[in-house]
Amino acid sequence: MSPESSIIKGKKESLWTTSFFILWQGQLVSTLGDAAYSVSLGFWVLAVTGSTALMGMLMAASTLPGVLVSPFAGVLIDRHNRKHLLILMDMIRGLSIVLVSAAAFTGVIAVWMVFVAGIILSICGAVFRPGVNSSVPDIVSTSKLSNANAMLSIASTGS
């Protein structure tokens, strides 16, 4: 049933469909996790090396690749299967976090590993974010699109 026909029949459209709620909740948890991971690894580098310069370099290395990839990410999302790219980017991000965690738990973690993980997360995040944003019109009716974008922005900014 199209969104327009539900209005005609007197049914009220809902922003919080199951698909949108899952997307919104996933983004909220993901951005909270990304923020916690980034801050904690920065402070880990500071604690291990005692170097604020190295901590700053990690923050830059975790940001700059994403900034450089971002202009091309939208084109990549538009030209390829969005769902497959989102899954691939999330799998790569998850794998890099698991590998750094495993290295930390086994006591073999090194600063270079944290830098590599930061770069990978930055690049994958630069592709993932526009993919999520471009999927919103597919799961939300046109009349609720601005509300949906606002709710995703609240989740992202709040994190």
Residue 10: pLDDT band by 50, 70, 90 thresholds? very low
pLDDT tens, residue by residue, 99-155: 999 999 999 999 999 999 999 999 999 999 999 999 999 999 999 999 999 999 998
Domain count, the chain: 1
Tens digits of residue pLDDT in 43-69 = 999 999 999 999 999 999 999 999 999
Answer yes or no: is 122 within a domain. yes
CA 112: distance to chain centroid?
A: 23
Domain that holds residue 40: 29-134
What would the DSSP string read from start to end of the chain?
--HHHHHHTTPPP-S--HHHHHHHHHHHHHHHHHHHHHHHHHHHHHHHH--HHHHHHHHHHTTHHHHHHHHHHHHHHHHS-HHHHHHHHHHHHHHHHHHHHHHHHHT---HHHHHHHHHHHHHHHHHHHHHHHHHHHHHS-GGGHHHHHHHHHHHHHH-
Return the structure tokens found at 66: 């994403």
> Would 145 be classed as within a structural domain?
no
Residue 54 belongs to a domain: yes
Whether residue 46 lies inside any domain: the answer is yes
**Domain membership flag for residue 120:** yes
Average pLDDT over all residues of the chain: 89
- 34, part of any domain: yes
> Residue 130: inside a domain, yes or no?
yes
pTM reported for the whole predicted model: 0.83
Contact 58, 118 (CB under 8 A): yes
Q: Is residue 50 part of a domain?
A: yes
Burial code (b: 16+ CB inside 10 Å, e: under 16) for 120-144 equals bbbbbbbbbbbbbbebbeeebbeeb
